[in-house]
Structure 1
Amino acid sequence: MDMTSPTAPRFPLSDAALRQLFLDARTVNGFLDEPVPQALLEQVYALACMGPTSMNCQPARFVMLTTRAARERLEPLLMPGNRAKTVAAPVCVIVATDSRFYEHIPEIWHDASARDSLAADPALCEAMAARSSTLGGAYLMLAARSLGLDCGPMSGFDADAVNAEFFPDGRWRANFLVNLGYGDPASVYPRNPRLPFATACRVL
C-alpha cells in the first residue's frame, strides 16, 4: 500500500513522539554550545511548509540568524530579558509575514486569477497573512522539535525597530521570534498549568 497517499490509513504517533512534540517539550531559555547546520534548518523548513494555510497562501517568511553578528543586530531591539539568551542561541528565527504573499499565488494555487482578487482586497489579505503566518511559525516549531531541536519562542521585542533593521522595504513584517538549538536542561523553568478541557473547550 502506498503510505504517501492521502487515503492511506493513519495511526496515532508513538508515546515517545508525542512526548518529544508536546508532553515533554518545553520552552528553553538557554542552549548547549552545539551548532545547528544549515542542512538541518532546510529540513525543518521542508516539514514546516507542508502545514495548511488559507488558500495555500504560505505568507510566513523565516529569517534565520545563524551568526553572532546577525543576532547582535537584533539584540538592542529585544526586551532586556531576551537579549543575552538570543545572542548566545545557535539560531534565532524572525518569523515574518510577507504582506504581498499573493504575488506567489500563481505558483502555489490552482486558480492563478486569485492573485488579482487578493491584491484588490487589502483587508482580506491582511487577515489571511496574519493568521497563516502565525500558523507557519507554529509549524516551524513542531518541525524543529520533530527533528530533535528545542525552541524558545518570544514576543518581547520592538517590532517596528526590527522591521526597520531587517525589512526596510516594508514588504515583510516581523511576527514573532524563535530561538533554536539543543536546549540546556538547566534553562527550563517548571511547567505552568494548562487549562482543563472543561474550561477551554465546548462540545456542541
Structure 2
Amino acid sequence: MAESPSRRLDANALDCLFGAARTPQRWTTRPVDDALVQTLYEQVSLGPTSGNCSPARFVFITGSEGRERLRPALSAGNVNRVMGAPLIVVVAYDPLFFEQLPLLCPTEDLRPWFAADVGLSEETAFRNGTLQGGYMIMAARALGLDVLPVSGFDQSTVESAFLAEDGWRANFLLCLGYAEHEGLPPRAPRLSFGQGCRVIA
C-alpha cells in the first residue's frame, strides 16, 4: 500500500505564508485577475467552520465607483493605502447564516437551534466569519497576493453603502494586490513563546 504524501509544508511555502509575507505600504498598478478572485473564494470556502455554517460573506470592490462609496468610511490614516489597492474586500458575515444550514449541513437539523437564539447565532456568525477572513489572508498569500488587513473604518457607513440590501454585517476590510516591496521598514516585534503562550499538562 502506497504511503500517503506528507501534508507538511516545506520551508519555502511557510515563508510565503508567514516568514517573508509583509503588510504592504504601497501597491503596484498590476490588477488582480477575475479568475484568481474566484479561485481565492473557492479555497477560502474549504476551511472549517462550526457545523460547516460558513457565515462569512465577501464584497469585492474593484472599480472607482465602489471605492468612492467606501472612501467616507475610512479613517484618515488608511485612505491612501486602501484606495491604492487593486482589490478591496469587505469581509462581512450574515446574521441569518442559519438559513443556509439545510444545504451546508444536511445531516443535522441545526437551523432551529440558531434561529431560536439570537445571541448564539450572532456569536457564531461573528466568530466563524472572522475565522474565514483569516483563511482569506492565508489563501491570498498562497496564491501570490499581498494582503493588508484594515479595521480603521466606520462600520455603519460600510454597511449602509454595501451590505444593507442583504442584511450582512461588516467585520473588517482586506486590501489585496501586488505590493512594492522596496523600502519596507523592519518587521515589528512579536511576543516570544513564553510571553504569548501557556502550556498546561
TM-score calculated relative to the size of structure 2: 0.94
Match of 2:114 among 118, 136, 139: 118
Partner of 1:41 in structure 2?
A: 37
Q: Deviations over 1:131-169 (max 9, x none)?
A: 100001000010000000000000000001111111224
Contact 1:163 1:170 in 2 (8 A): no
Partner of 1:145 in structure 2?
A: 141
Within 5 A, what are the aligned runs for 1:166-181?
A: 166-169=162-165, 171-181=167-177
Distance 1:187 1:81, change over 3 A: farther
Partner of 1:88 in structure 2?
A: 84
Alpha-carbon RMSD across the aligned residues, in angstroms, is: 1.7
| Greater Cα offset, 184-193 or 56-65 | 184-193
Q: For 2:116 and 2:2, how far apart are their aligned partners in 1?
A: 42
Q: For 1:82 and 1:63, how far apart are their aligned partners in 2?
A: 19
Partner of 2:46 in structure 1?
A: 50
Matched residue SS, 2:9: coil
Contact 1:34 1:90 in 2 (8 A): yes
Runs ≥4 residues deviating over 4 A? none
Partner of 1:190 in structure 2?
A: 186
Fraction of identical pairs, as percent: 44
| Greater Cα offset, 100-109 or 110-119 | 110-119
Match of 1:78 among 74, 86, 89: 74
Q: For 2:151 and 2:70, how far apart are their aligned partners in 1?
A: 13
Contact 1:30 1:187 in 2 (8 A): no
Q: For 1:111 and 1:183, how far apart are their aligned partners in 2?
A: 44
- Could you tell me how far 1:122 is from its partner in structure 2? 0.9
- Unmatched segments (≥5 aa) in structure 1: none
- Unmatched segments (≥5 aa) in structure 2: none
- Number of positions where the alignment pairs a residue of Structure 1 with one of Structure 2: 200
Q: For 1:2 and 1:187, how far apart are their aligned partners in 2?
A: 48
2:119 counterpart of 1:132: no
- Could you tell me how far 1:9 is from its partner in structure 2? 5.0
Partner of 2:97 in structure 1?
A: 101
Q: Deviations over 1:85-112 (max 9, x none)?
A: 2222100000001110000001111335
TM-score calculated relative to the size of structure 1: 0.92
- Could you tell me how far 1:12 is from its partner in structure 2? 2.0
Matched residue SS, 2:179: coil
**What one-letter code is carried by the residue in structure 1 that aligns with 2:65?**
A
Match of 2:8 among 12, 16, 21: 12
- Could you tell me how far 1:179 is from its partner in structure 2? 0.3
- Could you tell me how far 1:203 is from its partner in structure 2? 1.1
Partner of 2:62 in structure 1?
A: 66
**What one-letter code is carried by the residue in structure 2 that aligns with 1:124?**
L
| Greater Cα offset, 12-21 or 110-119 | 110-119
Matched residue SS, 2:46: coil
| Greater Cα offset, 65-74 or 17-26 | 65-74
- Could you tell me how far 1:68 is from its partner in structure 2? 2.1
Matched residue SS, 1:94: strand
Matched residue SS, 1:185: coil
